């Protein structure tokens, strides 16, 4: 019994992860949003990005292998997301989306911390509505890792998604391309006001480090 408890304790500790020291990292967005595409739907005031409408805020630059560190805050029924390596900014389903939400969105595949419609987080780490949450998202080739408020909740290998419209556990998804074949480089985006409530969402301290 002691041996089992020790193993369980080790497994629990292995999920714990530190967020990085981002000193010297590049700001993902310039203060005047000059390095973005069509920023009219967003405001950047006192270091906080706020969506004013449904438009997604896209970077002009493309990113392949990187570590992205950010904080976000939601209100009741907020629904947003962080889009990674978009293959086509006119089609959000061409990008992986790390879900930003105040709840499970009716499905574990839509809950905050999930790779939307593809991979649920290993556990719920969301802070109460109105508090700041912390993501560290690492993309390296087919590997995608998400640290959420100090816990690794996603550790995925996209090569394990070889079929169109199907997840490795057999559940369906809405993607018209297998995740294995998604672009490995592309713009990063923040989804604007989404869902029936159009509830606000805020982001801050968005820092990125490109990996060689």
The dihedral built from the CA positions of residue 83, 63, 204 and 138, taken in this order, carries a sign that is positive
Q: What is the pTM of this model?
A: 0.90
104-126 mean pLDDT: 89
Strand order in the sheet with 57-59: 36-37, 57-59, 189-190, 79-84, 96-101
Q: What is the CATH number of the domain that holds 119?
A: 2.60.120.560
Least confident of 88-97, 123-132, 171-180, 189-198: 189-198
CA–CA distance, 99 with 79 (Å, rounded to integer): 8
pLDDT of residue 191 exceeding 50, the answer is: yes
CA–CA distance, 89 with 100 (Å, rounded to integer): 18
- Using a 10 angstrom Cβ sphere, with 0-12 exposed, 13-18 middle and 19 or more buried, the burial of residue 71 is middle
| Residue 98 domain boundaries | 2-210
pLDDT in tens, 9-36: 434 434 688 999 999 999 999 999 999 9
pLDDT of residue 207 exceeding 80, the answer is: yes
CA–CA distance, 205 with 162 (Å, rounded to integer): 35
- Tokens in use for 16? 């714990």
pLDDT of residue 189 exceeding 60, the answer is: yes
Number of domains forming the structure of the chain: 1
Least confident of 3-17, 80-94, 97-111, 170-184: 3-17
pLDDT in tens, 65-77: 999 999 999 988 8
């Amino acid at each position: 019994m002691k041996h089992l408890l020790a193993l369980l304790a080790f497994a629990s500790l292995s999920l714990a992860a530190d967020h990085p020291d981002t000193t010297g990292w590049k700001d993902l967005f310039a203060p005047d949003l000059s390095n973005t595409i069509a920023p009219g739907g967003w405001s950047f005031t006192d270091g906080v990005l706020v969506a004013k409408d449904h438009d997604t805020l896209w970077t002009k630059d493309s990113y392949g292998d990187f570590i992205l560190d950010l904080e976000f805050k939601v209100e009741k029924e907020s629904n947003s997301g962080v889009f990674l390596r978009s293959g086509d900014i006119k089609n959000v389903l061409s990008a992986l989306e790390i879900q930003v939400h105040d709840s499970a969105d009716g499905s574990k595949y839509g809950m905050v911390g999930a790779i939307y419609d593809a991979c649920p987080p290993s556990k719920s780490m969301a802070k109460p509505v109105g508090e700041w949450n912390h993501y560290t998202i690492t993309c390296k080739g087919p590997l995608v890792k998400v640290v959420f408020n100090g816990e690794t909740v996603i550790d995925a290998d996209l090569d394990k998604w070889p079929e169109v419209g199907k997840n490795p556990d057999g559940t369906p998804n809405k993607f018209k391309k297998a995740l294995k074949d998604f672009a490995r480089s592309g713009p990063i985006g923040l989804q604007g006001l989404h869902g029936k409530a159009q509830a606000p969402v805020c982001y801050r301290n968005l820092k990125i480090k490109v990996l060689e």
